[in-house]
Chains A and B, each alone.
Chain A
Amino acid sequence: MAETRAIGDGTTRREPGQTAAPHIEVRHLTMAYGDFVVMRELNFTVPHGSVFIIMGGSGCGKTTLLRHMVGLREPAAGEVLYDGRSFTRAAPEERDAMLRRFGVLYQGGALWSSMTLAENVGLPLGEFTDLSPAEIREIACLKLALVGLKGFEDFYPNEISGGMHKRAGLARAIALDPEIVFFDEPSAGLDPISSSLLDDLILELRDSLGATIVVVSHELPSIFRIGSDSVLLDAESRSIIARGDPRELLAHSQDPRVIRFLTRRGSAAKPEGEHG
């Protein structure tokens, strides 16, 4: 990958002159649909190079939070900052430039159905680089090979399985070698083996690309396997009720809501699975 700024030892990937500001900061964020407040006064930071999990029960606002972070929804109050610069208040051109720095894998993959997998991955390359069509095809095929879809470049989305959709969506999300990759419920609809393979890919992204990963999930096996930091959202209090490494939360938290979520049994039994 000629254009990848790979640092194989998994250290954080920062440009010279980049400040020590957190990679992502959510400041006093309030999210609402009309008069209905989903979450209020959210404050947290995402460190460079972490695998950050946004977790919580169904319907608590995890995906809504992700949509606010990537600019698909405007907050009712507060802002989102990247490397200390406000994304929420940025001018359109500056916002577009910031968008290039991250990739998003949507829950259903969100592949463009009128294009082949190679065309899906190649579109951002064609839009934002000066590569020739042949070079674009080469990079697109490389990205698809990285996610285990070698040979499927000319297939259309309706010709592949759900798990392959996700992997193709991931190939597209990393087409421009983003610094941050967002995953919206990556394990949804996947069998345990495919889910585990996707977890492997996520860790590989962090280690080889040095990317910061943000994952919206409520799948405990994945959370404990890959997460290095997290926030737990609570629908009833409409706020964050826990913050930190998921395994440390499980071991040390005294909040029954946190324990109930992380064990699904109400007791502090430790799960199996290694931490990335």
Chain B
Amino acid sequence: MAAAEANITKELLSFSRIDADTLVVRLAGAWRLRRGMPSIDAVAREFAAPTPPHKVVFEASGLSHWDSSLVSFVVRLNELCRERRVAADLAGLPAGLQRIVTLAETVPETKARGAAGDGGLLERLGLWLVGALEGAGEFLDFLGEIAVAAGKLMRGRARYRRSDLLDVIQQCGASALGIVTLISFLVGMILAFMGAVQLQQFGAAIYVADLVGIGMVREMGAMMTGIIMAGRTGAAFAAELGTMKVTEELDAFATMGISSIEFLVLPRVIALVLMMPMLCLYADFVGVLGGAAVGYTMLGLSIPTYLRETFHAVTLTQLVGGLSKSVVYGILIAYAGCLRGFQCGNSSSAVGDAATDAVVTGIVAIVVSCGIFAVIFNVLGI
């Protein structure tokens, strides 16, 4: 490979001296990007010779074709000449090549905004901490704005369109039934299967109904519905609002004096607060049916027997607890989706990032609040 590169270089590039001070760089053949680019090292070696040159001239009569590979080579050679204080005379190059090289070197480099430097660990940690604190500030700001909007809603002074609210309700509610049915049924089956294997050994197969019923109603119904809705609806909110940010639709609200929190965020929060308990209740029921399917096929339990045992085991407190969790999860999903949408950057890839962030934030928030609920319910003796 190195030998092949050396051959390419010899074919395209060679050197000679007119006198001790002047190096002639002879360019020949076809300089094409796909053939690779000769390294500038060959020139550097000439400069490191016992009698280094003070001037470089070019000879290109044997050059049959050139493209950006030669432009890049000449620009790098010019930089090397400036470093080593060697004068470079481009007159021997084709006229078009001279113009392009001059253009590339004439436009002053615009000072870019400070690119992220290679700071040490401490610096990176500090920057991360500053970013985290700013992010926490934005979290609280957004929460505050939603709280103010919710206050206006209570007083009947919030401004939003009822048609938008109904649209979002349909998107969050009826349209989600399919996936909620599938996932909840499967989760019920999985819970039943896990319990059945063990309980059967003790002749207590009937208690599979208690396991699935309590598990779904207390935890899994709300959590699985929350995770589904975070991935489905939270991402949709973030993508929709992120796109509105990119197309300046959010700015249009702002300059018109219309609160985009009231107009866009509030309907989404209300829709999820209304729909999540209903979806959770539905998920609980379908999960129980999933467990009943395993009970019937694997354990020989009749459906009426299974259901009777389930209703006997599940208490109203547990049901209300599960539904309360679903309301909180709904608020968290709407909050995460809308916040990430509003924080979206100004490109189409930023919209995708916003949707991803919304899902991650929503799921993390659900799991953390699940833990908090566990502690609270434990303290309350529920």
Give the distance to chain A from B6, nearest Cβ to Cβ, in Å: 44
- Interface of chain B residues 237 through 275 with chain A (CB within 8 A): 244, 247-249, 251-252, 254-258
Q: Which of B110, B251, B256 has the most CB of A within 10 A?
A: B256
A112 touching B254, Cβ below 8 Å? no
Give the distance to chain A from B345, nearest Cβ to Cβ, in Å: 13
Closest A residue to B251 by CB, please name it. A72
B114 within 8 A of A: yes
Give the distance to chain A from B281, nearest Cβ to Cβ, in Å: 30
A72 and B114 in contact, given A110-B247, A113-B249 (Cβ under 8 angstroms): no
**Main SS at interface, chain A:** loop
- Interface of chain B residues 210 through 260 with chain A (CB within 8 A): 244, 247-249, 251-252, 254-258
Closest A residue to B254 by CB, please name it. A72
Closest B residue to A102 by CB, please name it. B255
A99 and B255 in contact, given A108-B248, A110-B248, A113-B249 (Cβ under 8 angstroms): yes
A54 within 8 A of B: no
Q: Which residues of B contact A124 (CB under 8 A)?
A: 256, 258
A71 touching B249, Cβ below 8 Å? no
Closest A residue to B250 by CB, please name it. A110
B35 within 8 A of A: no
- Interface of chain A residues 28 through 68 with chain B (CB within 8 A): 33-36, 67
A71 touching B248, Cβ below 8 Å? no
A261 within 8 A of B: no
B159 touching A127, Cβ below 8 Å? yes
B164 within 8 A of A: yes
Q: Which residues of B contact A112 (CB under 8 A)?
A: 244, 249, 252
B255 touching A72, Cβ below 8 Å? yes
A86 within 8 A of B: no
Give the distance to chain B from A130, nearest Cβ to Cβ, in Å: 14
B113 within 8 A of A: yes
A24 within 8 A of B: no
A220 within 8 A of B: no
A35 and B114 in contact, given A106-B248, A107-B248, A110-B249 (Cβ under 8 angstroms): yes
Tell me, in angstroms, the Cα distance from A33 to B346 when the chains sit together.
15
Q: Which residues of B contact A35 (CB under 8 A)?
A: 113-114
- Interface of chain A residues 80 through 111 with chain B (CB within 8 A): 96, 99-100, 102, 104, 106-108, 110-111
B256 touching A108, Cβ below 8 Å? no
A70 within 8 A of B: yes
B257 touching A110, Cβ below 8 Å? no
Tell me, in angstroms, the Cα distance from A112 to B110 when the chains sit together.
36
A114 within 8 A of B: yes
> A114-132 vs B: 1/0 string, CB under 8 Å?
1000000001100110000
Give the distance to chain B from A129, nearest Cβ to Cβ, in Å: 13
Tell me, in angstroms, the Cα distance from A114 to B166 when the chains sit together.
13
Tell me, in angstroms, the Cα distance from A131 to B244 when the chains sit together.
28
Q: Which residues of A contact B114 (CB under 8 A)?
A: 35-36
Give the distance to chain A from B145, nearest Cβ to Cβ, in Å: 12
Give the distance to chain B from A122, nearest Cβ to Cβ, in Å: 11
> B28-61 vs A: 1/0 string, CB under 8 Å?
0000000000000000000000000000000000
Give the distance to chain A from B108, nearest Cβ to Cβ, in Å: 8
Tell me, in angstroms, the Cα distance from A31 to B249 when the chains sit together.
23
A70 and B159 in contact, given A33-B113, A110-B248, A111-B249 (Cβ under 8 angstroms): no
A106 touching B254, Cβ below 8 Å? no
Give the distance to chain A from B346, nearest Cβ to Cβ, in Å: 12
> B114-136 vs A: 1/0 string, CB under 8 Å?
10000000000000000000000
A99 and B113 in contact, given A104-B252, A108-B247 (Cβ under 8 angstroms): no
Closest A residue to B159 by CB, please name it. A127
Q: Which of A36, A72, A172, A235 contacts B113 (CB 8 A)?
A: A36
Tell me, in angstroms, the Cα distance from A113 to B159 when the chains sit together.
19
B256 touching A110, Cβ below 8 Å? no
Tell me, in angstroms, the Cα distance from A99 to B254 when the chains sit together.
9
Q: Which residues of A contact B164 (CB under 8 A)?
A: 114
Q: Which residues of B contact A108 (CB under 8 A)?
A: 247-248
- Interface of chain B residues 135 through 170 with chain A (CB within 8 A): 159, 164, 167
Tell me, in angstroms, the Cα distance from A111 to B251 when the chains sit together.
11
Closest B residue to A59 by CB, please name it. B110
B254 touching A127, Cβ below 8 Å? no
B251 touching A110, Cβ below 8 Å? yes
Q: Which of B159, B248, B254 has the most CB of A within 10 A?
A: B248
A99 and B256 in contact, given A114-B164, A127-B159 (Cβ under 8 angstroms): yes
- Interface of chain B residues 305 through 321 with chain A (CB within 8 A): none
Q: A33-B113, A36-B114, A72-B251 are in contact. List 20 more A-B contacts (CB 8 A).
A: A35-B113, A35-B114, A67-B251, A70-B255, A71-B255, A96-B257, A99-B255, A104-B251, A106-B251, A106-B252, A110-B249, A112-B244, A112-B252, A114-B164, A124-B256, A124-B258, A127-B159, A127-B256, A172-B252, A235-B110
Interface of A with B (CB < 8 Å)? 33-36, 67, 70-72, 96, 99-100, 102, 104, 106-108, 110-114, 123-124, 127-128, 172, 235
The 9 closest A-B pairs by CB, nearest first: A99-B257, A110-B248, A110-B252, A36-B113, A106-B248, A104-B255, A96-B257, A70-B255, A110-B249
For this complex, 20 residue pairs linking A to B, each with C-beta atoms less than 8 Å apart, are A35-B114, A36-B114, A71-B254, A72-B255, A99-B255, A99-B257, A106-B248, A108-B248, A110-B247, A110-B251, A110-B252, A112-B249, A112-B252, A113-B247, A114-B164, A114-B167, A123-B256, A123-B258, A127-B258, A128-B257
